[in-house]
Amino acid sequence: MISPWTTQILPPAVVLVSTLAAIVIFVAGEARQRLRIWVNLTAALLKLLLVVWIGLEVLAGTTFMFRFELLPGLELILHADALSILFASLSAVLWLVTTVYAIAYLEHSPNRARFFGFFSLCVSATMGIAMAGNLLTLFLFYELLTLTTWPLVVHNGTPEALAAGRSYLRYTLTGGVVLLTALVWLYGLAGNAVFTPGGFLAPLAAEHGGALTLIFVMLVAGFGVKAGLIPLHGWLPKAMVAPAPVSALLHAVAVVKAGAFGIIRTVEDVYGLELVAELGMRLPLITVASWTIVIGSLLALREHHLKRRLAYSTVSQVSYIVLGIAVGGLLATSGGMVHLVHQGLMKITLFFCAGIFGLLLGVKRIDQLDGLGRRMPWVSGAFTVAALGMIGLPPLVGFISKWYLASGALAAGMPLVLAVLITSALLNAAYFLPLVRRLWLNPPGTLVEAPIEIGRLPRLALMSSAVATAALVVVLGVLAAHPLSPLNWVVKIAQGYAP
């Protein structure tokens, strides 16, 4: 049995572990590389352990709740429900892998203390989003995330990086402002309310229907900026100038997922899907998600720059999550939520590989990928696995998500959604298969830059990170039926929302 004090202290502890790491890293300064590596890895492992511990306790039925009154009637609440654990464990696992990758990737570059400091803070903010127990707390960490990712986006300090940073701030701070307005309004109407499965606004619907609709639109738009809903996605491709580990984390876990997670919370725990449907907002949400899925893929097709193509692919794929939530029902909700994890694993693998190609071989454009399979079989293999997963090839994780989404769409009687899913799968194939073909079947081209030699250990770290996440793409797909797989975890969550 776990003491009541521990159930209060653990949620903030999970958040603060990486904050502490960040402080140590900042104070230690640039030169203390060994200390930095140790602090990074220890904090990442500790965080993972804490999340696993909380997860097991949540499974056993313990409730975790930390409340702190910020203002009268305005509480900071950190809690842990199954959905928190889903996002938190994804972040914890991927943070650990990305830390290993980033240490190797940035082996010789300047300003590493600053980079890893903000990197840790960024994970703190993500954990706060995962553990948030009400909208205010979610908003607070959502804004912190903006603050802590901006230094990572502009890390290189080139004019393009600065421009990307400006664009990022313009989008996300405006989104934050829209959220804040919605939040003030919502608190005025409903007071200080905790996330409740099925929502807590239903009693207000009769009297304030119009206001609630408008607030819903504002919340989705505010979170949609980071989730990259078209047309709010403009910052995402530009942010690709950031170093590869940042892109990987931004796309797989932190920023984009924070937006999607916010939408999940809004729909499931603030409004409840029934109320959303009652307000006439379900169909528009499905439409926006479908539109983003298709248009995102089309835009990806147009890009010839590897990372930018991946960026548009993210725009498209993250909307699967929103789509699943909006369609509703056990199957579609599970499919959407599990994509939070599955897309994270696949996308981080792709970005890891793209980063390795870029760092070691100077390969940045798609037409430079020719014949890399022979030069770097492991990395190319990982890339191929993740790309095939994205297309939805069984038994990889992407297939699991899409299968549940498709079955859910049929169960909900929405054949058009199925059409969207099929179109998207075809488009995915259209923009990923040529890459795979280039990697393995095209004759090797000449490299634009001489290959960069790095030490054996960093090289191993880079490759093993990519291979490890690729292996997860396979393993979690094959073992989807295992009781502790993300899929089963998500089905448990979805049962709470859509019995």
Partner 1 sequence: MTPAAQLLIGLVFVPLSTALVAVLLPPRRRRWAVVLGGLAWPCLLVPLSMAVAREQSVVMVFGGWAPPLGIGWRLDALGLVVLWVHALAGIAALPSAWRRFDPDLPESGPFWSLWMILATGVNLALLAADLFNLYVALELTTLAAVALIATDDGIAALAAAMRYLLLAVLGSLMYVLGVGLVYAQTGSLAMHQPGIEALNNVALVLMLTGLMVKAAIFPLHVWLPHAYSNAPGPVAAIMAAVVGKAALVAFWRIWFETAEAPPAQLADFLGLIGAAALVYGAIAAYLQPRLKMVIAYSSISHFGFLLLLLPLASQQAFQGAGFHLLAHGLAKAAMFLAAANIVVVLGSDSIRHLPGLDKRMPLEAFTLALAGVTLIGLPPSGGFTGKWMLLSAAWETGGWFWLVLIVLSGLMSAAYVFRILALTCFHPARRAVHHLHPRPPKITSLAALTLALLAVVIGLYPHPVLDLLGAGMPGMVR
> Any contact of residue 162 with partner 1 (CB under 8 A)?
yes
> Any contact of residue 144 with partner 1 (CB under 8 A)?
yes
Q: How far is CA 401 from the centre of its chain?
A: 15
- Whole-number minimum distance, CB 173 to partner 1, in Å? 5
- Considering only the stretches 145-153, 247-255, 352-360, 367-375, report the one whose residues sit in contact with partner 1 under the rule CB under 8 A: 145-153
> Which of 71, 206, 450, 481 forms a contact with partner 1 (CB under 8 A)?
71
Nearer to partner 1, 116 or 383 (CB): 116
Nearer to partner 1, 254 or 340 (CB): 254
Give the total residue count for the chain. Answer: 499
Binding flags for partner 1, 420-459, as an x/- string (CB under 8 A): ----------------------------------------
Radius of gyration from C-alpha coordinates of the chain: 21
In whole angstroms, what is the distance from residue 453 CA to residue 184 CA? 54
Distance between first and last Cα of the chain? 29
- Whole-number minimum distance, CB 140 to partner 1, in Å? 4
Query: Where does residue 329 fall: left (phi above 0), alpha (psi -120 to 50 degrees), or beta otherwise?
Result: left
> Which of 9, 37, 59, 147 forms a contact with partner 1 (CB under 8 A)?
147
Nearer to partner 1, 67 or 365 (CB): 67
In whole angstroms, what is the distance from residue 469 CA to residue 137 CA? 31
- The secondary structure element, H or E, covering residue 68 is strand 64-71
> Any contact of residue 23 with partner 1 (CB under 8 A)?
no
> Any contact of residue 33 with partner 1 (CB under 8 A)?
no
> Which of 36, 47, 155, 257 forms a contact with partner 1 (CB under 8 A)?
155
* Sign of the CA dihedral running 438, 441, 445, 451: positive
> Any contact of residue 132 with partner 1 (CB under 8 A)?
no
Whether the Cβ atoms of residue 412 and residue 284 lie closer than 8 Å to each other? no
Nearer to partner 1, 125 or 388 (CB): 125
- Whole-number minimum distance, CB 226 to partner 1, in Å? 15
Residue whose tokens read 């937006």? 259
Residue whose tokens read 């940042």? 246
CA distances from 212 to 51, 256, 277, 433 (A): 34, 25, 12, 44
In whole angstroms, what is the distance from residue 243 CA to residue 158 CA? 12
> Any contact of residue 204 with partner 1 (CB under 8 A)?
no
> Which of 165, 243, 398, 477 forms a contact with partner 1 (CB under 8 A)?
165
Q: Is the peptide bond before 231 cis (omega within 30 degrees of 0)?
A: yes
- Whole-number minimum distance, CB 157 to partner 1, in Å? 5
> Which of 1, 3, 34, 72 forms a contact with partner 1 (CB under 8 A)?
72
- The secondary structure element, H or E, covering residue 119 is helix 112-131
Q: Which residues bind partner 1 (CB under 8 A)?
A: 69-72, 74, 76, 114, 139-140, 143-144, 147, 150-151, 154-155, 157-159, 161-162, 165-166, 169, 173-174, 176-177, 180-181, 184-185, 187-188
